[in-house]
Structure 1
């Protein structure tokens, strides 16, 4: 039997409402360790996996015993989107259970002045999006650009990046990330 440890870990982490960074902090491992495991780029030792699972908390036996349901839903009403953001940033994810999925789609809303933080984000995969309304300052590595309605972006997510709403009105975007590691 071949078990997808990365997808399973991502599923359990997201069910608990934790970001990769939050789980890494709780488990005492690096954020990149969680990211690499979820992307199936590394196969964790039992000791490392146990340490990570203790941060959730879930036992090794529970982790390997449960069978996540495969997502079957195709269409989503606006109220069915799952909120995974907090504070001045709303991330409304399409689908609650991303187990076995290769793509994460998010409707984002940033209140004026809201940003993802001074510490730049990094995670495995690629991401892209389109600004629907408002203005967004996007920094990717050393590049910085202010994007307005209709403008778009697409980059490798392992490049340090930061989003910040500029201007007096909220910024709304639709984005996608593959694999779903955000």
Structure 2
């Protein structure tokens, strides 16, 4: 299903004008947009090709690349599949070409992807690897944060454990509430969504993606 600019469709909320957003949030949108544009150009893909493969409009992809629209986690996962990369590839500002494998990522070196409209932010914990198939994240869910009403899918497998607060996880037709210490695992091609049911407390989840 195509996303439309300036609408609120389940887990996707976007404004066609970002002029009312704080400067820090505009910078987040611009950084994500540049990264997606660089990935598209590196693979020699046109806006039309990416839009067709992702089932999104050309105008919407263009707005994301220019930092005028804020993509949801579902949209980012879809675009990562189109570019044949993990979502972790959208974090770092370093060149996209292969870099030497690292063993350790220091706390101060963590890259962060802030999906500020949905109240979700992800910190990349795993060091840069030679293949990047396994990635470790800390996911912060602000009160009421959610990927939205619409289920989404992407390549790979995921697992994790709730470190703080609660998380509601839906996989296929099953909806489960997970508390501190509860863990999960499922194939990412199974339709899923998640969120924080609390209206006052933040949730923290250690999350693993393998593609």
TM-score normalised by L of structure 2: 0.56
> Aligned equivalents of 1:29 and 1:99: distance in 2?
30
How many angstroms does 1:104 deviate by?
Answer: 1.5
Structure 2: runs of 5 or more not aligned: 1-31, 40-44, 55-77, 86-94
Runs of 4+ in 1 over 6 A off after TM superposition: 23-26
Contact 2:101 2:128 in 1 (8 A): no
SS in structure 1 of the partner of residue 137 of structure 2: strand
What is the aligned partner in structure 1 of residue 203 from structure 2? Answer: 171
CA separation of 1:30 and 1:118: change in aligned 2, threshold 3 A = farther
Contact 2:105 2:127 in 1 (8 A): no
Matched, 1:69 2:92: no
Contact 2:113 2:122 in 1 (8 A): yes
Structure number with higher relative contact order (C-alpha < 8 Å, ≥ 6 residues apart):
1
* Greater Cα shift, 89-98 or 76-85: 89-98
SS in structure 2 of the partner of residue 145 of structure 1: strand
How many residue pairs get aligned? The number is 138
Contact 2:160 2:185 in 1 (8 A): yes
Write the deviation string for residues 44-86 of structure 1: whole angstroms up to 9, x where unpaired. Answer: xxxxxxxxxxxxxxxxxxxxxx981324322222221111231
Give the root-mean-square deviation of aligned CA atoms. 3.2
Question: Please, which of 172, 192, 211 is the counterpart of residue 161 of structure 1?
Answer: 192
What is the aligned partner in structure 2 of residue 150 from structure 1? Answer: 181
TM-score normalised by L of structure 1: 0.64
